[in-house]
A and B are shown apart, each in its own frame.
Chain A
Amino acid sequence: MIVGIVLFFGLARQNLVDNLEQRNIATGFGFLANEASFIVSETVIDYEPSDTYGRVFLVGMMNTIKVAVLGSISAILLGTFVGILLLSKNWLLRNICYSYVNLVRNTPLILQLLFWYMLLTEFLPSIYDSVSFLGTVFFTNRGFYISSIVIHSSYYWSLGTMFLGFGFAYFFNRYANRHHDRTGRELPAFTINFTIIIILTLIPWAIAGFPLNISVPVFVTPDFLGGSNISPEFLAIYLGLTLYTATFIAEVVRAGIVAIPKGQVEAGSSIGLTPMKLLKLVILPQAIRIIIPPLTNQILNLFKNSTLAVAIGYPDFVSIANTTLNQTGQAIEAITAIMIFYLSVSLLVSLFMNWFNHKMRLVER
């Protein structure tokens, strides 16, 4: 069997190399050092057309990761919220959520993306008569122009001290839990942690003298100056992925909650837990163990679905690799790069989620 597979791939590869050579098609990854010389509309890292194909690949990967990370976070938040509401006792809320889940879950994602893109480009006003919200956010069919905070060097210090705060919170939580186990009394851990994190974050900012410089977009024909632009391409793929994936996550969350034995809820109620405490202390900790594996699948789906961005012109990795493929003609290399990127990120995500799952599993005592 193994010999067969090896032979198969060996022959296929030899055949490929022969064919490429026979047709004088350039091969190898040498092109990555050549100048890309095409413009990319939006980038997370700096990029100029004089940069290399290697750099533009990196630009594409960052764009994909940006939309996948932001999309995953909002899809998980929205999905959890809707999932809980699917079990709400309120008829109206429950049915609104059911309609949303079933409507969005049962239509093709590509149509939804085109729908959002059309909505954002055809129904919003042109850049010349933009609609503004309090003069800080401008809505146009070229995206949203938002006021942005100009980064000051002290913000990086704040970020550092904020993580210190999180570190403190982690240890303090452990201490608080032990204290609770020992004495049965609860420490106001959340309030203390929250205050500490805020104070730690504010210290570097205060030392620097509270620098705050907000850049407000101003329209100077033909475009806005200052602020930041969120393009309709990004908005469409972000909205589309979030709303689509959230429906599946909602179902996963609902299923996770329903799967908890009724006795657990009844036991919790009988010792006098409020519905919120019941959710937080009894239901969610148990539901999360059931939820994580299917949730992993949904996150991976979102990541892979982000390749549909090419249809609406968001410069994700596939879009950029495709352009590269076309400009250099190195199809095999470009497709290989796409496969390696998606495979390795997917594997990393599943590794992390497996570790998380392992950590959250029920510890039998």
Chain B
Amino acid sequence: MKKYISILLSFSILIVSGVLSADTLDTVKSRGKVRCGVNTALAGFSAPDSQGKWVGIDVDVCRAVATAIFNDPKKVEFVALSAQQRFTALQSGEIDLLSRNTTLTLQREVGLGLLFADVIYYDGQGFLVTKKSGIKSAKQLNRRTVCVQPGTTTELNLADFARNNKINLKPVVIEKFSDSVNAYIAGRCDAYTTDASGLAAIRTTVKDPDAHIILPEIISKEPLAPAVRQGDDKWYNIVNWTIRALVTAEELGIDSANVARIARSSNITQNAKRLLDSELAGQIGLTRSFAYNVISKIGNYGEIFEKNIGVNSPLKLERGLNNLWTNGGLQYAPPFR
């Protein structure tokens, strides 16, 4: 009996001491790896390639953060998460960073206790239908069946869309992404709805991509951003300024190919100098050359975009809203000074 009590007591103590230490950077450094939550398989954002290596824009954000800390893009442990698991995994401390095509919303910051960094990809929700169905506009979805994944903003937008337009939609809600897509392909649903980038990704995986079209309507704003837990401002700054370094580099015309030359150049601009040799980085626990390391090993924002989801990738997405502000887009990083 005494043995049981002592076991129970030691369990309680274990749990109490299990309170997460507030300093994520220390935890990450002592572990030697960033634990990053990513999508299980969404082409262009995060999916394992044929060699089993994770690729995608979300994955590169994880690698950029790891490079900023360790100067080594390999020091990431990827944790594949479903839409339903992602927030609990971050809240419980199983991952340090959630980079999983997640929409920034008020509820997720105030209700879930998360903080979102700068937006990686400005997206919006659309519909994928078969050409055969003859549907030309989302307004024609009255009395139609739509496949959707649960626990997403997509699911809520779909209900809003139906209510606003007074149309009657029947959702089929399947948790696993691949099962959900399969139900659409089998003809269980007339349409599949998710973010437009996700629809483009699905089109690359179906047997006959030309048999499917994406409807013109975009029914929501989906700013996709990485998230961290509240309460650790230093860690939030590390993630956020790493992303800003990527965008700033593109704005300054610095990429993985020319970064070494520019850094050594005698007529380097003051802006480029402040980015590549940051005097303030030490304040958040990074080295002066963190941005240099990230750009030389991962590339700038534009490079990451084009490689994973750009017009020359299988997803063939235009820069659109995700162009730099100087090119008429929304990507705008605050100054490094």
Genuine A/B complex? yes
Chain B, range 230-246, C-beta contacts under 8 Å to A: 230-231
**Contact (Cβ within 8 A) A4 B4:** yes
- Does A311 lie at the interface of the complex (its beta carbon under 8 Å from any beta carbon of B)? yes
Docked Cα-Cα span, A31 to B180, in Å, equals 28
Q: Which of B150-158, B267-275, B277-285, B297-305 contacts A (4 or more CB under 8 A)?
A: B150-158
Q: When A15-B18, A222-B143 are in contact, do A7 and B112 touch as well, CB less than 8 Å?
A: no
Chain B residues 156 to 189 lying within 8 A of chain A, measured CB to CB, are 156, 158-160, 162-163, 169-176, 179-180, 183, 186-188
Residue of B111, B113, B180 touching A328 (CB-CB under 8 A): B111
B88 at the interface (CB under 8 A from A): yes
Cα distance, A115 to B84, chains bound together (Å): 24
Q: Which of A76-84, A96-104, A256-264, A317-325 contacts B (4 or more CB under 8 A)?
A: A317-325
Q: From A40, A142, A313, A327, name the one whose CB has the most chain B CB atoms within 10 angstroms.
A: A313
**Using Cβ atoms and an 8 Å threshold, which residues of chain B touch A319?**
150, 173, 175
B190 within 8 A of A: yes
Residues of chain B within 8 A of A276, CB atoms compared:
none
User: Of A19, A328, A330, which is in contact with the most chain B CB atoms at under 10 Å from its CB?
Assistant: A19
Stretch of A21-29, A153-161, A177-185, A204-212 lying at the B interface: A21-29
Residues from 85 to 104 in B contacting A, C-beta threshold 8 Å: 87-88, 91
Interface string of B192-229 (1 = CB under 8 A from A): 00000000000000000000000000000000000001
Contact A23:B163 (CB < 8 A) given known A39-B171, A121-B187, A310-B175: no
Q: Are A11 and B113 in contact (CB under 8 A)?
A: no
Q: A14: nearest residue on chain B (CB-CB)?
A: B16
- Contact among A12, A49, A313 for B159, CB-based, below 8 A: A49
Within 8 A of B (CB), among A19-72: 19, 22-26, 37-41, 49-50
Q: Please pick, from B12, B87, B187, the residue contacting A7 in the complex, using a CB distance under 8 A.
A: B12
Would A18 and B19 count as touching, CB distance under 8 A?
Answer: yes
B257 at the interface (CB under 8 A from A): no
- Contact across chains for A223 and B144 when beta carbons are under 8 A apart: yes
CB-CB under 8 A from B84, the residues of chain A are 322, 325-326
- The reply to whether B171 and A7 form a contact with Cβ atoms under 8 Å apart is no
> Would A326 and B145 be within 8 Å (CB), given that A4-B5, A7-B8, A311-B176 are in contact?
no
A22-B231, A222-B144, A232-B188 as given contacts; A11 in contact with B15, CB under 8 Å: yes
- With an 8 A cutoff between CB atoms, is B9 at the interface? yes
A313 contacts B19, C-beta separation under 8 Å: no
| Set A15, A24, A26: member contacting B231, Cβ < 8 A | A24
The reply to whether A15 and B16 contact each other, CB–CB distance below 8 Å, is: yes
Check A5 against B8 for contact (C-beta < 8 Å).
yes
Q: Is B50 an interface residue (CB 8 A)?
A: no
Interface of A is mostly: helix
Q: Are A39 and B159 CB-contacts (below 8 A) given A23-B230, A326-B87?
A: yes
User: Once the chains bind, are A39 and B169 in contact (CB under 8 Å)?
Assistant: yes
Whether B12 contacts A12 by the Cβ 8 Å rule is yes
Distance of B217 from chain A, by nearest CB (Å): 18
**Given A142-B188, A222-B144, A319-B150, A311-B175 contact (CB < 8 Å):** yes
Chain B nearest CB from A160 CB (Å) reads 34
B108 contacts the other chain (Cβ, under 8 Å)? yes
Q: Which residues of A contact B145 (CB under 8 A)?
A: 142, 223
Which residues from chain A contact B229 at a C-beta distance below 8 Å?
Answer: 23
Report B219 CB to chain A, min CB distance, Å.
14
A217 interface residue, CB < 8 Å from B? no
Q: Does B28 contact A (CB under 8 A)?
A: no
Whether A251 is near chain B, meaning CB under 8 Å from some CB there, is no
* Pair B173/A315 contact, Cβ less than 8 Å: yes
Are A329 and B107 touching (Cβ within 8 A)?
yes
B225 to chain A, nearest CB (A): 17
B19 engages A15 (CB within 8 Å): yes
Decide: A1 near B159, CB < 8 A? Known: A8-B11, A311-B176, A313-B173. Answer: no
- Tell me which of A1, A118, A322 contacts B1 (CB under 8 A): A1
Q: A105 CA to B87 CA in the complex, in Å? A: 37
A141 to B190, CA, bound (A): 12
For residue B83, CB closer than 8 A to chain A, the reply is: yes
Residues of A within 8 A of B162 (CB): 39, 49
Chain A residues within an 8 Å CB radius of B179: 114, 311-313
Q: In angstroms, how far is the closest chain A Cβ from the Cβ of B264?
A: 44
* Chain B CB within 8 A of A122 CB: yes
Q: Are A37 and B156 in contact (CB under 8 A)?
A: yes
Closest to B153 in A: A327
B190 near A222: Cβ-Cβ < 8 Å: yes
**Interface pair B173/A141, CB less than 8 Å apart:** no
CB closest residue in chain B, given A125:
B187
CB atoms of A7 and B9 under 8 A apart: yes
Query: Which 7 pairs from chain A and chain B are nearest by CB?
Result: A326-B151, A329-B112, A24-B113, A313-B174, A4-B5, A11-B12, A4-B8
Q: Known contacts A8-B11, A18-B19; can you find 11 more A-B pairs with CB under 8 A?
A: A4-B4, A24-B231, A37-B156, A39-B158, A39-B170, A121-B183, A126-B187, A141-B187, A313-B172, A323-B150, A325-B151
Which residues does B use to contact A, with CB under 8 Å? 1, 4-5, 8-9, 11-12, 15-16, 18-20, 83-84, 87-88, 91, 107-108, 110-113, 133, 143-145, 150-152, 155-156, 158-160, 162-163, 169-176, 179-180, 183, 186-188, 190, 229-231
Between-chain CB contacts (< 8 Å), 24 pairs: A4-B8, A12-B15, A23-B113, A24-B113, A24-B230, A26-B113, A37-B159, A37-B160, A39-B171, A40-B171, A141-B187, A142-B145, A142-B188, A223-B143, A311-B174, A312-B179, A313-B175, A315-B173, A322-B84, A322-B150, A326-B83, A328-B111, A329-B107, A330-B111
